[in-house]
Chain A
């Protein structure tokens, strides 16, 4: 301004302005989420699940892979009747385990110092090969979460890039790109994916030995491929309506460059809706992983995921004896996680964009 404020006066105002800092929409959303008890509890629950799966090697659990061939699965015991024993063998545990990264290895060391040879009893029972179910559920959460997060990120990358490009460029390109999405929507993807994964399954060992690609990472990408369509549509719609918003035009009139408009103005405004859809895609992907495990196309034993556990459980059920714990516990683990994710997704949607409430997702 040509009539500038006094320098010292300005300094004082700046200090006072800092003290009277406003609340961003993000903060506002966070407060709304915190006030939504169900969503907030879900968030807390999911944080516990995530932390638990990350720290799996630290817990004094029996080996998830140790076979103890016997006649039949042992039922759950109440913790106070069989708290645990001192039979844990660290060397065997490490040898039998399918994978222990450097980080995991350190956690096992820590476990050995903290708990010694102590391990928990079969609180949730054992499976037909004598493996501890609680341990398998904790370890299984790792792969389930990994697959869900990685596949969702694949869908995010593809969906957001595709949708943002179509929406921002607009015109004919947008038209063409969205027709492609329409066509893909009508493809019965479940069958395509089953076909693809069956094909990949054939080359599991070839892939690993010759190309050094783990089957599981291909798995992520393939699942991610089907869940990007909705994301692309949502992002495209948002970008389309935002790119002609007056605040974007104001930035253009100020001479802002295209990257500036994209990253300073568009992305932060599209982000909230992306987060919501992300939270809602994760449970869908988890369920799909379970479904593929059911078909024998999922992770490879001895590795374990929740889907695989549920499959083991249903296979053990027979008319003479129902080994209910083999089905119930994995179902509880997976069901509560899916429920929490869905509640959190709905809560996030309400918190981040109150206008969207009650709309179709």
Chain B
């Protein structure tokens, strides 16, 4: 087996919480990412889904080095990234890029589109200024914008167009992997499909691999053949899209999927929405045992016994369930 493009192993990112005042008292620990593992092959895309605050963004930001990992490893094409110096990182910046959530905040309002798109090339000293400019033109063309808008400013574009600029910037260095942190959730529903289709088209054209973060399961189904579900800093289920959507194994995945409309009207009529009780626990005080247990419908139906005790005291491992499926649950 060849080395995967990206291999994340037992990645942890903890934040110190509480007021960082001069005396340094009252400190807590927030486990935003708590042992996440997955691999991503060249040209593949993996969808990462979960509720707000479960640590999706933190996972992406830690992978790309915006934050230092607390523990665990991130290997890109076999090279460990977590221990690299700033200088050592540079070649990998060219191979791995990121698309941000908010198209209004992710572009410098004082730069023209041209400067935004040539900046990556300038930083990595690719080509002469003139070539960079021409390159920016073809980038605009590639993301479906009019190249004649090269000397315009971000405020002169709509949200969807800005997101295209953000995508063009990420593509400038011809990366192999794009981390997309909810790239469409800030956009109008009507625009979302356009951007998702653009991402799909670019993937085929340039052979990109995506780590696609979203809380929208239908978008993930459309774009990603493989899906991982996160809950409170951990992956609770992962598997190929078809079997995971048809037959979710983890009760949390089941609940999430029950909220998604299905395209088939017959099955849509049968769909029973499962509403999870209780609040999402805060990652600074995760429940003992299975972090999902205070809200778990499966546990609620389980008669008291060894299984139910394990749910409350023992974190379930992310176990292989055959056919590339994994989920973490004591009660099958």
Contact between B138 and A245, CB atoms less than 8 A apart: no
Query: A10 in the interface, Cβ–Cβ < 8 Å?
Result: yes
Contact with B along A250-268 (1 / 0, CB 8 A): 1111111100100011001
Contact between B148 and A251, CB atoms less than 8 A apart: no
Query: B21 in the interface, Cβ–Cβ < 8 Å?
Result: yes
Contact residue among B119, B149, B153 (Cβ-Cβ distance under 8 Å from A24): B153
Contact residue among A175, A246, A256 (Cβ-Cβ distance under 8 Å from B21): A175
Q: Which residues of A contact B102 (CB under 8 A)?
A: 246
Query: A25 in the interface, Cβ–Cβ < 8 Å?
Result: yes
Contact with B along A19-40 (1 / 0, CB 8 A): 0111111101000000000000
Contact between A245 and B148, CB atoms less than 8 A apart: no
**Distance in angstroms between the alpha carbons of A4 and B141 in the assembled complex:** 10
Contact between B137 and A5, CB atoms less than 8 A apart: yes
Contact residue among B22, B169, B174 (Cβ-Cβ distance under 8 Å from A172): B22
Contact between B137 and A13, CB atoms less than 8 A apart: yes
Nearest chain A CB to B115's CB is how many angstroms away? 9
**Distance in angstroms between the alpha carbons of A16 and B21 in the assembled complex:** 55
**Distance in angstroms between the alpha carbons of A179 and B22 in the assembled complex:** 10
Which of A16, A17, A252: most chain B CB closer than 10 A? A17
**Distance in angstroms between the alpha carbons of A171 and B22 in the assembled complex:** 9
Nearest chain A CB to B20's CB is how many angstroms away? 6
Contact between A3 and B156, CB atoms less than 8 A apart: no
Q: Which residues of A contact B90 (CB under 8 A)?
A: 255
Contact with B along A216-259 (1 / 0, CB 8 A): 00000000000000000000000000000111011111111100
Contact with A along B173-196 (1 / 0, CB 8 A): 110000000000000000000000
Contact between B152 and A20, CB atoms less than 8 A apart: yes
Q: Which residues of A contact B139 (CB under 8 A)?
A: 1
Query: A339 in the interface, Cβ–Cβ < 8 Å?
Result: no
Contact between A1 and B142, CB atoms less than 8 A apart: yes
State whether A245 and B22 are in contact (beta carbons under 8 Å apart), knowing that A1-B139, A5-B134, A250-B166 are contacts in the complex: no
Query: A321 in the interface, Cβ–Cβ < 8 Å?
Result: no
Contact between A25 and B93, CB atoms less than 8 A apart: no
Contact residue among B93, B114, B155, B206 (Cβ-Cβ distance under 8 Å from A255): B93
**Distance in angstroms between the alpha carbons of A4 and B290 in the assembled complex:** 52
**Distance in angstroms between the alpha carbons of A255 and B175 in the assembled complex:** 13
Q: Which residues of A contact B66 (CB under 8 A)?
A: 249, 252-253
Contact with A along B119-156 (1 / 0, CB 8 A): 11001100000000111011101100001111111011
**Distance in angstroms between the alpha carbons of A287 and B250 in the assembled complex:** 71
**Distance in angstroms between the alpha carbons of A255 and B119 in the assembled complex:** 10
Contact between B174 and A14, CB atoms less than 8 A apart: no
Contact between B151 and A22, CB atoms less than 8 A apart: yes
Contact between A13 and B148, CB atoms less than 8 A apart: yes
Contact between B112 and A22, CB atoms less than 8 A apart: yes
CB contacts under 8 Å to B, within A147-203, are 171-172, 175-176, 179
State whether A10 and B138 are in contact (beta carbons under 8 Å apart), knowing that A20-B149, A23-B156, A172-B22 are contacts in the complex: yes
Query: A269 in the interface, Cβ–Cβ < 8 Å?
Result: yes
Contact between A4 and B138, CB atoms less than 8 A apart: yes
**Distance in angstroms between the alpha carbons of A268 and B153 in the assembled complex:** 14
**Distance in angstroms between the alpha carbons of A30 and B155 in the assembled complex:** 16
**Distance in angstroms between the alpha carbons of A247 and B106 in the assembled complex:** 4
Contact between A176 and B148, CB atoms less than 8 A apart: no
Contact residue among B64, B109, B134 (Cβ-Cβ distance under 8 Å from A14): B134
Contact between A250 and B206, CB atoms less than 8 A apart: no
**Distance in angstroms between the alpha carbons of A313 and B245 in the assembled complex:** 88
Nearest chain B CB to A137's CB is how many angstroms away? 41
State whether A250 and B149 are in contact (beta carbons under 8 Å apart), knowing that A10-B134, A23-B156 are contacts in the complex: no
Contact between A254 and B105, CB atoms less than 8 A apart: no
**Distance in angstroms between the alpha carbons of A17 and B66 in the assembled complex:** 34
Contact between A22 and B156, CB atoms less than 8 A apart: yes
Contact between B151 and A18, CB atoms less than 8 A apart: yes
State whether A254 and B151 are in contact (beta carbons under 8 Å apart), knowing that A23-B156, A245-B105, A269-B109 are contacts in the complex: no
Contact residue among B22, B64, B112 (Cβ-Cβ distance under 8 Å from A176): B22
Contact residue among B94, B153, B171 (Cβ-Cβ distance under 8 Å from A23): B153
Contact between B100 and A250, CB atoms less than 8 A apart: yes
Q: Which residues of B contact A17 (CB under 8 A)?
A: 114, 137, 147-151
State whether A253 and B97 are in contact (beta carbons under 8 Å apart), knowing that A1-B138, A17-B148 are contacts in the complex: yes
Q: Which residues of A contact B138 (CB under 8 A)?
A: 1, 3-5, 10
Contact between A256 and B119, CB atoms less than 8 A apart: yes
**Distance in angstroms between the alpha carbons of A349 and B205 in the assembled complex:** 47
Contact with A along B63-96 (1 / 0, CB 8 A): 0111000000000000000000000011001100
16 contacts between A and B (CB under 8 A): A1-B142, A1-B174, A5-B134, A13-B148, A13-B150, A14-B134, A17-B150, A22-B152, A25-B109, A172-B20, A246-B102, A247-B105, A250-B107, A250-B169, A254-B93, A255-B90
A interface, CB within 8 angstroms of B: 1-5, 7, 10, 13-14, 16-18, 20-26, 28, 171-172, 175-176, 179, 245-247, 249-257, 260, 264-265, 268-269
Query: When A and B form their complex, which 9 residue pairs have the shortest distance between CB atoms, in order from nearest?
Result: A22-B152, A246-B106, A17-B150, A255-B93, A246-B105, A21-B151, A1-B138, A268-B110, A246-B100
Known pairs A253-B64, A257-B123; list 16 more (Cβ under 8 Å): A1-B135, A1-B141, A10-B138, A13-B150, A14-B134, A16-B148, A17-B150, A20-B149, A21-B151, A23-B153, A171-B20, A245-B105, A246-B105, A255-B124, A265-B110, A269-B109
B interface, CB within 8 angstroms of A: 20-22, 61, 64-66, 89-90, 93-94, 97-98, 100-102, 105-110, 112, 114, 119-120, 123-124, 133-135, 137-139, 141-142, 147-153, 155-156, 166, 169, 171, 173-174, 205-206
